[in-house]
Amino acid sequence: MRHRTHPTSIRTRIYLAMIVCVAVVVSTFAISSSYLFRRYEVEDCVEYAYGLCGLVSDEIDPELVNDYLARGYEAPGYGAIRDRLYELRAAYPDVEYLYVYQIQQDGCHVVFDLDTDAVPANEPGEVVEFDPSFLPHLDALLAGENVEPVISNDKYGYLLTVYAPLYDKSGACVCYVAVDFLMGEINEYVEQVMLSVVTVSAVFLLLLAVVGFALARQRIVRPLARMEDQAYRDGLTGVQNKAAYEERAHALSSAIEEGKAVFAILMIDINFLKRVNDTYGHEKGDAYLRKSCDLMCSVFGKDRVYRYGGDEFVVVLENGELVEATSLLYDFREAVGLQLADESLAEWERVSAAAGMAVYDPKTDATVQDVLERADQDMYEHKRAMRAERAD
């Protein structure tokens, strides 16, 4: 059986889909933007570092590098160059470490190294073991070639390192100038910027979502709700149709299975519809049906009335409504009697209908259909009584 989807469910699904779309867009934008911006920051730092490497290289005479390694502080001009390197590093506050190494098979031979607050400088000529991050580039470094910037995470921290070779007059690489940036600071800056960007973007997308929700409600949700409502409405009378009743019956069946069912069904059959159609035409017959339905709705309420067939209607009363079920049935029969007695009305305006009712009894009713059939029997008893009254 096809189950009716409540309009609220349609609206909820559409809104949830829009929220998911907004969340996906924001997440995708955040991730891609963060990646691209981080990449841009790294590239910017690399360019920045190569600029510093160039300035350091200008201060060092490559022909004297071996002398600096052998004599260290005693080498002519060594102290002045080292002081100049401190000045250059101070001019680049984003730089964490600045050093000059000669790469040999046994390790990194210190040409220049600078103290930091956390790490004291290595002495000239001291051999430093290769960091694991060096190993993939070791052959290129030993050959004096240019190497790509390296990102490493070791005892010195999470670093971005740039190496720039320094060549002597013969074209041989005598050492490398190296600059380290703290990747943590780069990432922190990227996160701060991206947080601002994502926040602004999220607010913007939220505003778009609000507008989208409004448009969706106007252009999608309401039309869909109207279409679905029309699928469960009788086009002539405007009350709910048989499909809607079957949906209601399904819910009642579930209540029966759970032992929670408390309901009554009224079956109403419109009399003389064929005669009105044959005598006055189908236009008057339709008006007769609508007037009959209006009378039902005025007594039972429109949301309780279902057009079950051509001239048959069903009314469903549940739970607390059962208290007034009998009186409502009496009110309807009385209203029909008043209509029939009103000679000022044309024949097609005087509603005649038989009505019967059955209350669900768990001892005798196994299904909703059992209750409907008992209501139908009661309706036919009323119809026979009406015929007998007319005969008198």
| pLDDT score of 99 | 95
Q: What is the dihedral of CA 314, 319, 323, 329, to 10 degrees?
A: 0
| pLDDT score of 222 | 58
| pLDDT score of 155 | 66
| pLDDT score of 203 | 72
Q: Are 331 and 340 in contact (CB under 8 A)?
A: no
| pLDDT score of 219 | 64
Report the mean per-residue pLDDT for the chain.
85
Q: What is the tens place of the pLDDT at every residue in 189-200?
A: 555 655 666 676
Sign for the CA dihedral angle at 56, 58, 63, 64 comes to: negative
| pLDDT score of 229 | 55
Q: What is the tens place of the pLDDT at every residue in 208-227?
A: 667 766 666 666 555 555 55
Could you write out the DSSP letters of every residue in 234-260?
Answer: -TTT-SB-HHHHHHHHHHHHHHHHHT-
Split at pLDDT 50, 70, 90, the class of 7 is very low
Q: What is the tens place of the pLDDT at every residue in 18-75?
A: 677 777 777 776 677 666 666 777 777 788 888 889 999 999 999 999 999 999 999 9
Radius of gyration of the chain (CA): 45
Q: How large a percentage of the chain has pLDDT more than 90?
A: 58
Per-residue tokens: 140: 């290129």
What is this structure's pTM? 0.49
State how far the Cα of 69 lies from the Cα of 102, in Å rounded to an integer.
9
* Cα angle for residues 96, 98, 100 (degrees, 5° grid): 155
Q: What is the tens place of the pLDDT at every residue in 344-388?
A: 888 888 999 999 999 999 999 999 999 999 999 999 999 999 888
State how far the Cα of 389 lies from the Cα of 157, in Å rounded to an integer.
104
| pLDDT score of 194 | 59
State how far the Cα of 159 lies from the Cα of 88, in Å rounded to an integer.
19
Would you say residue 3 has pLDDT above 50?
A: no
| pLDDT score of 5 | 47
* Least confident stretch, 39-48, 125-134, 266-275: 39-48
Q: How large a percentage of the chain has pLDDT more than 70?
A: 80
Average pLDDT over residues 231-246: 91
Alpha helices in the chain (DSSP H): 7-59, 65-71, 78-91, 138-142, 183-216, 222-231, 242-258, 273-280, 282-300, 325-341, 368-391
Average pLDDT over residues 99-117: 94
Q: What is the tens place of the pLDDT at every residue in 292-342?
A: 999 999 999 999 999 999 999 999 999 989 999 999 999 999 999 998 888
Domains and CATH numbers, the chain: 22-188 (3.30.450.20), 242-391 (3.30.70.270)
State how far the Cα of 18 lies from the Cα of 9, in Å rounded to an integer.
14
